Amino acid sequence: MNLKTFYINNSRIRYQEAVPDDGPFEKCYLIENPLCEDIVAIPDGCIDLQFTWTDHVCRGYVCGSFLQGRLSLTSTYSRCFGLKLHPGVLFTFLQCNRVDSLMDSRIPLEHFLDIRRLEEELTPQSRLSDLIETALRFFQDQRIFPAHIIADHANHFIRQNMGAVRVSELIQSLGYSHRYVNNVFKNHFGVSVKKYADIIRAQAAIDYLGSSDIMDVIADLGYYDQAHFIRDFKQYTSMTPNTFLVQKNTGLIIV
C-alpha cells in the first residue's frame, strides 16, 4: 500500500516524489507552492522530517502524523522537502519513549539534533535529486530505534489486512495484555493499535474508491454500514466519499 499524506486540488502546486532503494525512508517528496495555497493532510501513521523555505532560508521540522484530515501547515511555505520514515521506524534521536508527543505536532528538528550544517547545505538546492542525496548522506549514520517484535507483528498484520481487523482478536493472538501491547505499539507508532488500524483502513478506502463501488468498499473493509464508512472517511480525509469521487474526477491529486 502506497501511503497517502496529502491531497492537492490545485494545478499551480507542483508535487514530486521518489522512493529510495533501501533505508529508513518510505519516500521523499518536494512540494512547490509559490502562492501558499491550501494543501490538506491525510493521516498515515508515519513520522516525516520536513524542510521548509521562508525568505530563502531552510528550516527542519519533525512532523508527526495527523490524527484526522485537515489543512496542512505545509500550505504556509513556498517549498517543502520531506522524508517520510517507514511506519514504526524511528531514529533514536527522536526520544522514542515520547513518540506519542510527536503525533499531530510540528517540532523544530534542532530540538533533537544539530542540523545547522544540513539546513545550510539544503538552502540553495532546488532539484529533488540533490535534496535527497544531501539529506540521505546526513542521516545515514543516525541510529535506528530497534523494532519490537510485538509492534512489528501488529503492524504487518494490520497492513496485510488493510486495517480491516478485529483489534481485540489481534491482541489476544499475541498472548499479552491489551495494555502491554498498546504501550509497546505506541512506543513505535505514537498511537494505539486501534487508531493505527483505523488510519490504515482509511488509506485503503482511498485506494478502493478509485476502482470500486462505495458499497463494495464498505463490505471489503469491514465497515458496519454506509453511515459508519462516511463518518470515518470524512474524519480522515475531511470530505465525504462522494465529494472525494467528484474532486478526483476533476483533477484531485492524492499523494
Last residue of a domain, one of 113, 139, 165: 139
- Same domain? For 105 and 161 the reply is no
- Same domain? For 83 and 203 the reply is no
Mean pLDDT for 103-113 is 94
- Same domain? For 98 and 57 the reply is yes
Say if CB 21 and CB 55 are below 8 A apart: no
Task: Please state, for a pLDDT cut of 90, what percent of the chain lies above it.
Answer: 79
DSSP-derived pairing of the beta strands 25-32 and 14-18 = antiparallel
- Same domain? For 30 and 132 the reply is yes
Last residue of a domain, one of 139, 160, 193: 139
Task: Please state, for a pLDDT cut of 70, what percent of the chain lies above it.
Answer: 100
Confidence (pLDDT) at 85: 96
Cα-Cα end-to-end distance for the chain = 12
- Same domain? For 101 and 191 the reply is no
Confidence (pLDDT) at 249: 78
- Same domain? For 20 and 127 the reply is yes
- Same domain? For 116 and 158 the reply is no
Give the model's confidence band at 70: pLDDT under 50 very low, under 70 low, under 90 confident, else very high.
Answer: very high
Q: How far apart are the C-alpha atoms of 146 and 94, rounded to whole Å?
A: 13
Q: How far apart are the C-alpha atoms of 85 and 49, rounded to whole Å?
A: 8
Inside any domain, residue 247: no
Q: What is the pTM of this model?
A: 0.93
**Per-residue pLDDT tens for 2-15?**
899 998 988 899 99
Inside any domain, residue 83: yes
Confidence (pLDDT) at 129: 97
Say if CB 188 and CB 151 are below 8 A apart: yes
Q: How far apart are the C-alpha atoms of 215 and 210, rounded to whole Å?
A: 13
Helix (H, G, I), strand (E, B) or coil at 79: strand
C-alpha cell of residue 107: 517540532
- Same domain? For 21 and 134 the reply is yes
Inside any domain, residue 249: no
Confidence (pLDDT) at 113: 94
Residue 99: is its pLDDT beyond 90? no
Residue 140: is its pLDDT beyond 70? yes
Domains in the chain, number: 2
- Same domain? For 31 and 53 the reply is yes
Confidence (pLDDT) at 122: 97
Confidence (pLDDT) at 246: 86
Say if CB 61 and CB 52 are below 8 A apart: yes
Angle at 221 between CA 82 and CA 188, to 5 degrees: 40
Inside any domain, residue 144: no
Which of these, 82, 76, 71, 84, lies nearest to 33 by C-alpha position? 76
- Same domain? For 13 and 85 the reply is yes
Structure-model confidence comparison of residues 213 and 139, the more confident one: 139
**CB-side exposure of 118: number of CA atoms within 13 Å?**
23
Inside any domain, residue 56: yes
Q: How far apart are the C-alpha atoms of 255 and 248, rounded to whole Å?
A: 12
Most trustworthy range by pLDDT among 45-49, 98-102, 168-172: 45-49
Mean pLDDT of the chain: 93
Say if CB 162 and CB 204 are below 8 A apart: yes
CATH at 193 = 1.10.10.60
DSSP-derived pairing of the beta strands 14-18 and 47-54 = unpaired
DSSP 8-class letter at 195: H
Residue 238: is its pLDDT beyond 70? yes
Inside any domain, residue 252: no
Inside any domain, residue 169: yes
Residue 105: is its pLDDT beyond 70? yes
C-alpha cell of residue 120: 545550510
Confidence (pLDDT) at 97: 67
- Same domain? For 11 and 125 the reply is yes
Confidence (pLDDT) at 22: 84
- Same domain? For 22 and 123 the reply is yes
Q: How far apart are the C-alpha atoms of 196 and 194, rounded to whole Å?
A: 5
Last residue of a domain, one of 83, 105, 139: 139
Tell me which residue range forms the domain holding 14: 6-139
Inside any domain, residue 157: yes
Helix (H, G, I), strand (E, B) or coil at 56: coil
